Every structure is written in structure tokens, then in C-alpha cells.
Chains A and B, each alone.
Chain A
Amino acid sequence: MRSGSCTAARSVFRRAAPRDPPVAAFRVALLPLDIRAHLLVRYFTHSLGAQLRSGGSLYLLTVFGVALGVASVLSIQIVNYNALAAFEGTVRAVSGEAEISVFGKTPAFPERHYAEVLSVDGVAAAWPLYRVDVALADRDRFYLEVLGVDFFTPMRIPWRGDPDDVSAALAGDGWSAVTPALAARFGWAVGDTFEVHSGVRRVRLRVGAMVDFQELSPLASRKLVVMDIAQAQALMGRRGELHQIDVRTARGTDAEGVRRRLQDRLGPGMRVVTPGQRSEQAEGLLSAFRLNLSAMSLISLFVGLFLVYSSTQAGLIRRRMEFGLLRSLGATRTQVLALILGEVALLGALGVVLGLPLGYWAADANLEVVSATLTNLYLLEEISSLALPRWLYGLGAAIGMGGALAGALAPALDMSRRDTRALLSAVPLQERTESLVFRLFAAGAGILAATGLWYLGWGREWKHAGFVLCVALLIGLPLCAPFAIRQVCGRVRVRGFGPGYSLRGLSVRIRTASFAVASLAIAVSMLVGITLMIGSFRRTMEVWVNASIRADVYISPASWRGRGTAGTLEDELVEALASHPGVAAVDRLRGFPAWSGDRQIGLAGVDMQLPGGEVRFPLLDGNVDEAFRRVREDGAVLVGETLARGVNKWTGDEIAIAGPEGEVRFSVAGVYYDYHTGGGAVVMDLTTLEAFIGPGPVNGAALYLKSGWDGNAVVESLEARFSEAPLQIRSNRRLRDEVFRIFDQTFLVTRVLQGMSLLIAVCGIMLMLLVLVREQVTELALYRAVGARRGQVFGVFLGQGLGFGLLGLGLGLVGAVLLAGVLVFEINRAYFGWTIQVYWPWGPVLQQVAAILGAALLASLYPAMRASRTPAAELGRDDLMA
């Protein structure tokens, strides 16, 4: 170490005794403890300033590591919080005054239940709601939710300004109230009109007033449109049907008691829930989605901790003599530890300050993607704006500070406990870790083996076992890094001053190399493991889509989102579509949400008589011929894998589904591969569905064309012929493309997290190489002294960076295969109920391998440049690193 590293120590001593530092040092050593503590605080401020000036880049990296870790976790927590908050916000805005809400277990329920609700003891007020999704005309998939309300009930409606005369709302000319945000987006004012599509109907609405639900709940949906309930039913749905009844209980009554009485009165075909229970249901629906994102963000944080560790270690190595000097002057181990951790805490705080806005920005940047996932896959409210509650600030601060201190604790403890002579001597710092190499490996391998055995023996049955396996991998893999480095680099034969020489050099820098390799290995495991999983999933989906999307043309109302009853095709329209000369056969789909026990599922009826239609539902369990015969002839059902795994119902079992007349038990004829999110699905023949729910229009039609007819041409001719009807007419190819667009969109956030982890790991490589430059200054100077050119030293260092990359990649690929196995065979099955076939997406994996090595090489450029500039004159005889 050169004299510069003791600048801060000297500056304090100069103040104590400007003319004679050794005397001052002696005096300091004799000072009472409290004065020493005081001096240490003063020293802290001097030291930090001096260190920032001399080694700013290392501190910057600590701050960067903390900031990235905080941003990674915080962005996901913000997204997770707001995903649920958007749902809760809308619930609060619409049903804020209600203590109880009543829903049907079928898509809609008859109005007579309203009178039944009012008759229950303890109900002070109740108001019916008719809720229907409509598509805004001339906008691609821009959906609004129409709320049909009874203006004469006590429902609270947050009018903006003076509402139009309510009597106008009843006039029947499409009077509606929109949110100011929606009006601002489209430039609407009171009196303007706009067109919406509901099923095959085109309805023109008039902006009669503004209704600001954000006043009641800032996160409420901005796409709510309020109408008179009778008008909404008449214009967009069916008279005599309701979707929800909100209830306010009488003052002093027990709400739970009222809820139970309502449930008894309405029977098992209805759901009577509190707002809290509704939130719990939404939370349950999103739990797997949220948990997976949280887990991945924590991996990023974990990699960030490596960066903090590395930068702290690097900083401490530079200052070894300074700490030796402090200890020799009487500073206790605790004081040195406090000094180091104090600095790290300060840097952690800076990281938090940077990480908070970065996290918010990352969440905001991914808002659209997450929002699309929520609406496409979970049919929940989109996130219109982001809220950042105070506890999330606290979480960010705790993660940042805690992470910084946790990352720095090991090197800080190591430095503070080191013998003073060792700190002041020329002994390299690597020795202790090198002797630990085998023990660390044994511990890592032991953890992996023990967890594997636990899983095979007992853990399989536990839903969260997959995460235990992941944690074991995160701990076990880094512990194996030192052993892997020693085994690989120690065996390299040195044939010249080239790549082999670079790798061999790492074998004696195990401590430094281990952290770079381990952090990269974790990032690679995550990056490649998830890529393997997504690649396998995508290929599985391709096979599944090939089997299940077989028709040539698909038609559905523009407003249909898979829920509700309004997005339907009239029978006459389906007949007209089928009359196209190119159509050989027509399949019909009628689908809506239903309930099986406490589980919301998707219920669908299709034409099971369709010749060759069996291939639409590839079976996981059951005999194809027998299963479809029973579905056609016996009224049995096919159950999707997600539901089958969730409720453990397989071929031969019975499954109960709530209908208008109460629960009906259906025999399960087979279980088919299913990749829906949520509670799963049940499919039955259309005739069975009609008998169960009652007759009704279908939601979609699929046309099979005669040989020689082109799907796109038929789409164009149908679009021209039915241009008046707001239909989505899609060719087979377009529908498939949309399926995969949604698929890829769903994993976009995952890709962002993967990228963040890799970025952190690559920073770690750069940092470790900078540490090596520092540690190896004498070695580098010797190369220069014995005639190595700058370019040669540059090459050796670049080789070391590449060595980090290769070792991290090698170890990471092992981890990636294990992680992919856990994700495919355990986590996806346990949380989503999906069977994913394993495929090897070589193309993307090879691209990533090249990107990782390229990134490692790029990260090595600056340290290699620094290394190549080491002058031979560094071989001073007073050099500490000799």
C-alpha cells in the first residue's frame, strides 16, 4: 500500500500534533475510551472524505449495487402492490359504502334476488348493479366497464360538479357518466357522444356527466362508465338480470351475521362476500404471479449483495494498512467494525436514495406490460396509475440498508478481527479462504444433496417445495465456486504468457475470484434457467396451440373478454357465417366464469360432435375414444390440468359446478393439457351446457374451411359482408400470433429482471478485476520489469475476465439446468398446474452464452487497461503486496 491510503489517519494526527505525528499517535493511544470514540467519529468523517477522493469508483459501485438491488425488489413490490390495489381501488370506489356484496355463481342472476336481499333482517339498504364489458369503437381492444346503477338507491356516486338532471339519465338516449380521466384522454365533454360495442350491438352513448371515482379511491379504474341500470340492460344486455347487489347493514348489527343470513336466504347458487373476502380472492388469483416476480426480484437483490460484498472487500484491501495502523494506535476491533459498517451504511443510504426513484421508474416503465398481463390473463382491473405507499419507502430503505450491511458484514468482520501484525505485514489475504475451499464445497454439495433427498423423500407433497429447492441452489452453488475455480484453474497447463497463464493466475486468487464467479453463476442460472423454462414452455404451447387451434377462421364479438354474458353472437349471425360457401363445418363456443366449490373456474361448452374434434383437447389422463364418447353421450366433462391438479379430480371422479338451480355433479371423462391461468377450466358438450345453464347465445364460432379455400381470403370476405357487426374475425395464423404475443408479453418483466441480474453480475466482474489489479500490483509490476509489454499485461487481464466469464458460465449452466428442472417440474405444476415438456432452446441459450461472455469481456476492458498501465516502478521494496 502506498502512502495515500493513510491520508485520513494522518489528517487527524496532524490536527492533534502537527509537528510530530508519532507522538500524537502515542497520545491518541493513551486517551480515555470516550475521547477515543469521539476521535473515531471525527476520524470517520475525515476518512470517508479521503476515501471517496482516492477510491471513488469502488464506492460508486457499492452505491450502484445497493441501488440496483433496491430498484429490483421495489419495482416488483410496487407492481405487485398496485396490481392488487387497482382491483381493491375499483371495489372501494364502486362498493365503498357496502359492507357486503352479493354475486351469482353463474355469470348473471335474476332480479328477484334483489327483493330477497332487501327482505333479510339487518339489511339497511341494498342497490343492484349491472356490469358489462364493452369495447370502444375504432380502438383496438380498448374496453370500458359499464356500471348500470339505480339512481334512486343510496349508492354513493362521486359526481364531478353538478350532474345533469338525473331524469335525463332515465330518458333512454344513451346518457352516461364517464370519468374525467377518460374524458380527458379522448377529449370528450358533456354532450359529446361515443360508440361502444356490446356483443354484436353498436350502441351510441352520450356524455351526460362526469363521475370521478378517483375521488373515492385514487387507484380506481378510469374506464368506468355509469348508466341507468334499466338502460344498460336494454342497450347492452338482458332485462331482468343482475351481476351484483351491494348491501349496507343496519347500524349496530353484526355484518358477519347479516352475511350468513343472506347466504342462507339466497342459497348455495349465490356468493355473499365482504370486500375483504373479494380482495382475498383476487390476491389468491394473483398469488402465483406475484410470488414468482418477488422471487426473481430477490435473486437480483441476492446478486446485488455480492456486488456490495465485492466492493467492500475491494475497499478494505486498499485500506488494510490503515486499519492496521488504527489497531496499533489502540482502536478496538468493535471500533474498526463500526467504522467500516458506518461507511457502508452511509453508502447504503445513498443507494436507497438512488434506488427508490429507479425502482419507481422501472415499475412505471413496465406498467403497461404488467397491466396487460392482469387484464389478459387474470381478467382483473388494469393498473391506471402507480401508488407508492409509505411502507414501500420503508421496505426499500430496509432492503437497501439491510442488504448493504449484510453484504459488507463478512469482509468487515474479517478485517476487524484480523491480527494487527497481519494487517501491517506483507502476508497475502487469501490464505484462510483457500484452506476453506474443500469445506465450503462439502457444505455446498451437502446442502444440495440434502435438499434433493428431502424433496424426493418428503417435500414433493408440499406446494412450496420448489422454492426451497431454489433457495438451496442459491446457497449451494456459490459455495461450490471456490472448489470449481481451484479444480479448473489449478489444472491448467501454462504454456506461455497467454490465456492459460490468465486462468492459472485465478487459482491463487480464489477469494476474489470466487465472488465474481459465484455472482455470475447465480445470474447465469437465473438467466439461462428461466430461458430454458420459457423456451420449453413456448415450444409446449406451440404444440398445444397446433392441436387446439385447428379451425381456419375464428369469430367473436369485439367486446368479449371471456367473462360476463353480454359478448355474444346471435344464432342467426352464426348461421349466416356458416352459410359462407367455403365453410365445411362450424364449431361453437359458449364460455363464462363459473364456480366449483370455492374456486372460480372457466366453464366452456363446445360442439363435441364435430368430426375429428378430439384433437382440440389433447388428453393428459383418460382414454381418448372413451372420454369423448362419454362427453358426447353421457354428459360427462373434460377437466383442464390446472383444475385437476388444484382440486385433485381425475378421470372417473366427479366434479361439482354451481348452476342456476344449485350445484350439479359431473363425471370427469378425462383431463386435458391446459395452460390457462387462474382456477382452471371445465369443458362439456354445448347440449350438456344448455341443459345445465339454460339456452343462450354462444360467445364465439370457429369455421373449418373446405379444401382449397384460403383462410385470409375468407376473413376478408366475412369482414366485408358483416362490416356492420362489431366482430373480431381472425385467421388461424392471426389468432396464434396473438396467443404468442400475450405469452411473450407475460414474460417481459421476467426478461427485465434477468437483465438486471446480469448487469449486476457483470459489474461484479469489473469490480473483482479492479480488486485484482490492486492485489496484483506487484505481480503486474514484475511482468513489466521482466519485459512484458503493456499489450501482454492487458491480454492476461482480459483473459482473467474471460476466465471469470467462463467459470461463472460453466457453474451457472449447471445451476440453470437444475433451476429449469425445478421451475418446469415443480413450481409450474404446483402453482399453475401446467405440464411443460422439456425442449432445449439452443438458439436463445447460445445467444445468451455469447452475450454473457461478451459482457464479461467488456467488463474486463477497463480493469485490463488499468492493469496494463501499472509501471514497473511499483516494485518498490516497501511494497506491502510483495
Chain B
Amino acid sequence: MKVQIDTTPALSFDSVSRAYDAGSGLRYALRDVSFDVEPGRRVAVVGRSGSGKSTLLHLAAGIDVPTEGVVRVRQRDLSALSEEARTMVRRDEIGLIFQFFYLMPHLPVAENVALPAMIAGEKPRTYRPRVRELLERVELADRALDPVQKLSGGEQQRVAICRALLRRPGLLLADEPTGNLDDENGRRVMNLMMDLVENEGATLVYVTHSREFASLADEVWELHSGKIGLPPRRSA
């Protein structure tokens, strides 16, 4: 039997620029960036503060739209979609992980993980097994009913990773996932995230300041003044 491999880029930027009106003229956060990310790849984006890393992630997630160029998630042009349609893409195809975890203080651990499914209108019986499975994989199954405030920083980020993976997104975007953790916890969270992404077969793009954590990726790109250093353009 011949296995057909899906080679459609999970994420692609085509001559993407994002400029802001700085009063005295335009200020470019990202300028003429092009790249493709193949499915299943793990890409680390590094760069100094203000280099445009977060802007890149916001554009990839459809939270922001470029002033020029095209951003595609699995060949769908996000710029051409309405804000509501981009939200649907985010809900169904993208998982987001943040530096500050952003867990809901009024929900216990399991319900924090289940939040995207709740938003998607899934029935509890359909998402509960998945929640349990993910929590077991990050070794937090026994804390499922605990309030999130009782968790350590590392544990909170593990919950946030579970939340991002709950609906099996094809693309996972992580913005400084270890930025709020100490080295040891950061290392543990990164390893866990890499394992989970590999098991889930997802594509990962993450922003980090740490060379050590960047080295865990298949590719490392450096952003400098809104321009990408090593864009490995995939041949068409």
C-alpha cells in the first residue's frame, strides 16, 4: 500500500510585513518575511526584545493581520478571512501556549484543560477522556480537581500545554513558554512539550530567548529588526 504523505505547509508566510504608525512614520515590527513550516516540524524563533517574535506569532495565529503579504495556515489565507473566520481557524486548527499561562482562576485543573472544548460546544462526555489522557501524560491526573492556584508555575504551564493540545490542533504556537519558569522547571516543561508535540504529530513554532531550549527544535530561526535570519524556503 502506498502511503500518501501530506506535504502541504502547516504554516507559511509570503512576503509578510507588519507596520505600525509611529506618528513620525511607519515602524516595521516585521518586514518582508517569507517562510514555510512543514507539517510535524519543530521551529524555534529566537531574537532580541523588539525583534518581532511576538508579532510573528500573533500573525501566525490570526490574532493580527499583516499590512502586506499573506499568512497561510494549511494553505488557507488568514488575511482573506473575516475576524470571525480566523477565530474559527484558531479554535479548530491552532493551539496557543503563553508565557504567563493564562489559566482561569475560577476553574479547576481539568476544566481549564477542557476550556477550548467548552468553547467549541463539545459535550463533556466527548472531551473528558481526552482531558484525562493529557493530564496523565503530564503527570497531573491526580490534580484534576484542584484549583489552579494551588499548582506551581511549572505545573500551571503543563496544564496550559494540555489545554493547547486538547482539540488536536495541527499547529501549536508557543510564546516564551518557559519565560516565567526557573531553569529546571523550564527544562522539564520544554521536554514535555516536545514529547507531546511529537506524539500528537503537531507542528510547533515557539519563541524563546534561551539558546538551550532553541536547540531542541528541528530548525532555529533568528529574527533581527523584523527580518528573519535563516528562512529555509521550501521549494515549490
Cα distance, A506 to B115, chains bound together (Å) = 17
A786-B63 contact given A494-B107, A494-B111, A495-B124, CB 8 Å threshold: no
Identify the closest chain B residue to A874 (Cβ). B63
Kindly state whether residue A785 has any CB partner on chain B within 8 Å.
Answer: yes
Partner of A785, one of B96, B104, B107, B111: B96
A426, A787, A792, A882 — which one has the most chain B CB atoms within 10 A of its CB?
A787
Contact with A along B26-38 (1 / 0, CB 8 A): 0000000000000
Cα distance, A497 to B120, chains bound together (Å) = 8
Cα distance, A790 to B102, chains bound together (Å) = 19
Q: Is the CB of A494 within 8 A of B118?
A: yes
Question: Within the complex, what minimum Cβ distance (angstroms) separates B93 from chain A?
Answer: 9
Question: Within the complex, what minimum Cβ distance (angstroms) separates B52 from chain A?
Answer: 13
Chain B residue numbers with a CB within 8 Å of A14 are none
Q: Is the CB of B64 within 8 A of A873?
A: yes
Chain A residue numbers with a CB within 8 Å of B98 are 782, 875, 877
Looking at the complex, which of B66-74, B83-91, B187-195, B198-206 is the stretch in contact with chain A? B83-91
Partner of A789, one of B61, B63, B87, B102: B87
Partner of B119, one of A787, A876, A882: A787
Question: Within the complex, what minimum Cβ distance (angstroms) separates B84 from chain A?
Answer: 6
Kindly state whether residue B154 has any CB partner on chain A within 8 Å.
Answer: no
Q: Is the CB of A872 within 8 A of B61?
A: yes
Q: Is the CB of A787 within 8 A of B64?
A: no
Identify the closest chain A residue to B54 (Cβ). A877
Kindly state whether residue A505 has any CB partner on chain B within 8 Å.
Answer: yes
Kindly state whether residue A871 has any CB partner on chain B within 8 Å.
Answer: yes
Kindly state whether residue A624 has any CB partner on chain B within 8 Å.
Answer: no
Cα distance, A628 to B118, chains bound together (Å) = 75
Chain A residue numbers with a CB within 8 Å of B23 are none
Chain A residue numbers with a CB within 8 Å of B115 are 497, 786
Kindly state whether residue B100 has any CB partner on chain A within 8 Å.
Answer: yes
Chain B residue numbers with a CB within 8 Å of A786 are 90-91, 96, 115-116, 119, 163
Kindly state whether residue A779 has any CB partner on chain B within 8 Å.
Answer: yes
Question: Within the complex, what minimum Cβ distance (angstroms) separates B137 from chain A?
Answer: 20
Chain B residue numbers with a CB within 8 Å of A549 are none
Q: Is the CB of A873 within 8 A of B63?
A: yes
A788-B119 contact given A507-B106, A508-B105, A877-B176, CB 8 Å threshold: yes
Cα distance, A740 to B104, chains bound together (Å) = 56
Kindly state whether residue B99 has any CB partner on chain A within 8 Å.
Answer: yes
Q: Is the CB of A877 within 8 A of B119?
A: no
Cα distance, A778 to B175, chains bound together (Å) = 15
Chain A residue numbers with a CB within 8 Å of B87 are 784, 787-790, 872
Identify the closest chain A residue to B102 (Cβ). A782
A787-B63 contact given A497-B119, A877-B54, CB 8 Å threshold: no
Identify the closest chain B residue to A504 (Cβ). B106
Kindly state whether residue A501 has any CB partner on chain B within 8 Å.
Answer: yes
Kindly state whether residue B92 has any CB partner on chain A within 8 Å.
Answer: yes
Chain B residue numbers with a CB within 8 Å of A495 are 118, 124
A489, A784, A786 — which one has the most chain B CB atoms within 10 A of its CB?
A786
Q: Is the CB of B99 within 8 A of A877?
A: yes
Q: Is the CB of A872 within 8 A of B91?
A: no
Q: Is the CB of B100 within 8 A of A877?
A: yes
Identify the closest chain B residue to A879 (Cβ). B100
B90, B104, B116, B175 — which one has the most chain A CB atoms within 10 A of its CB?
B104
| 825-882 of chain A: CB within 8 A of chain B | 871-873, 875-877, 879, 882
Kindly state whether residue B58 has any CB partner on chain A within 8 Å.
Answer: yes
Cα distance, A871 to B102, chains bound together (Å) = 15
Q: Is the CB of B54 within 8 A of A787?
A: no
A508-B106 contact given A496-B121, A790-B84, CB 8 Å threshold: yes
Chain A, interface size: which category? 20 to 34
Q: Is the CB of B90 within 8 A of A789?
A: no
| 774-812 of chain A: CB within 8 A of chain B | 778-779, 782-790, 792
A785-B61 contact given A496-B118, A496-B121, A792-B119, CB 8 Å threshold: yes
Question: Within the complex, what minimum Cβ distance (angstroms) separates B172 from chain A?
Answer: 12
Cα distance, A789 to B82, chains bound together (Å) = 12
A787-B91 contact given A494-B118, A501-B118, CB 8 Å threshold: yes
Chain A residue numbers with a CB within 8 Å of B84 are 789-790
Cα distance, A538 to B163, chains bound together (Å) = 59
Partner of A497, one of B63, B88, B102, B121: B121
Partner of B91, one of A788, A876, A879: A788
Cα distance, A723 to B181, chains bound together (Å) = 98
Question: Within the complex, what minimum Cβ distance (angstroms) separates B223 from chain A?
Answer: 15
Q: Is the CB of B90 within 8 A of A787?
A: yes
Chain A residue numbers with a CB within 8 Å of B118 are 494-497, 501
Cα distance, A128 to B166, chains bound together (Å) = 97
| 737-757 of chain A: CB within 8 A of chain B | none
Cα distance, A873 to B29, chains bound together (Å) = 15
Q: Is the CB of A877 within 8 A of B175?
A: yes
Chain A residue numbers with a CB within 8 Å of B116 are 786-787
Identify the closest chain B residue to A790 (Cβ). B84
Partner of B100, one of A504, A788, A882: A882
A489, A508, A872 — which one has the most chain B CB atoms within 10 A of its CB?
A872
Chain B residue numbers with a CB within 8 Å of A505 are 104, 106
Identify the closest chain B residue to A779 (Cβ). B104
A501, A784, A785, A876 — which one has the most chain B CB atoms within 10 A of its CB?
A785
Partner of A873, one of B58, B92, B104, B107: B58
Cα distance, A788 to B61, chains bound together (Å) = 14
Cα distance, A508 to B108, chains bound together (Å) = 12
Chain B residue numbers with a CB within 8 Å of A787 are 87-88, 90-92, 116, 119-120
Cα distance, A879 to B104, chains bound together (Å) = 16
Question: Within the complex, what minimum Cβ distance (angstroms) separates B152 from chain A?
Answer: 17
Cα distance, A496 to B179, chains bound together (Å) = 31
Cα distance, A875 to B99, chains bound together (Å) = 10
Identify the closest chain B residue to A873 (Cβ). B63
Cα distance, A783 to B107, chains bound together (Å) = 14
Contact with A along B156-174 (1 / 0, CB 8 A): 0000000100000000000
Chain B residue numbers with a CB within 8 Å of A426 are 100
Identify the closest chain A residue to B124 (Cβ). A495
Cα distance, A788 to B117, chains bound together (Å) = 10
Cα distance, A876 to B63, chains bound together (Å) = 11
Chain A residue numbers with a CB within 8 Å of B121 are 496-497
Question: Within the complex, what minimum Cβ distance (angstroms) separates B74 from chain A?
Answer: 16
Cα distance, A535 to B61, chains bound together (Å) = 59
Chain A residue numbers with a CB within 8 Å of B96 are 785-786
Cα distance, A879 to B102, chains bound together (Å) = 11
Chain B residue numbers with a CB within 8 Å of A501 are 118
Question: Within the complex, what minimum Cβ distance (angstroms) separates A488 from chain B?
Answer: 13
Question: Within the complex, what minimum Cβ distance (angstroms) separates B147 from chain A?
Answer: 10
Identify the closest chain B residue to A507 (Cβ). B106
Chain A residue numbers with a CB within 8 Å of B111 are 494
Cα distance, A426 to B99, chains bound together (Å) = 13
Cα distance, A789 to B92, chains bound together (Å) = 12
Question: Within the complex, what minimum Cβ distance (angstroms) separates A661 from chain B?
Answer: 81
Cα distance, A782 to B107, chains bound together (Å) = 14
Question: Within the complex, what minimum Cβ distance (angstroms) separates A19 from chain B?
Answer: 16
Question: Within the complex, what minimum Cβ distance (angstroms) separates B155 from chain A?
Answer: 17
Question: Within the complex, what minimum Cβ distance (angstroms) separates A745 from chain B?
Answer: 49
Known: A496-B124, A504-B107, A786-B163. 17 other contacts (CB 8 A): A495-B124, A505-B106, A784-B63, A785-B63, A785-B96, A787-B90, A787-B91, A787-B119, A788-B87, A788-B91, A789-B87, A790-B83, A790-B87, A872-B90, A873-B58, A875-B102, A879-B100
Can you list 21 residue pairs at the A/B interface with Cβ under 8 Å?
A: A428-B105, A494-B111, A496-B124, A504-B107, A505-B106, A507-B106, A508-B106, A779-B102, A784-B87, A785-B63, A786-B90, A786-B91, A786-B115, A786-B163, A788-B91, A789-B84, A789-B88, A871-B63, A872-B87, A873-B58, A877-B98
Top 5 A-B pairs, shortest CB-CB distance: A787-B91, A882-B100, A872-B63, A497-B118, A508-B106
A: residues with CB less than 8 A from B are 426, 428, 489, 494-497, 501, 504-505, 507-508, 778-779, 782-790, 792, 871-873, 875-877, 879, 882
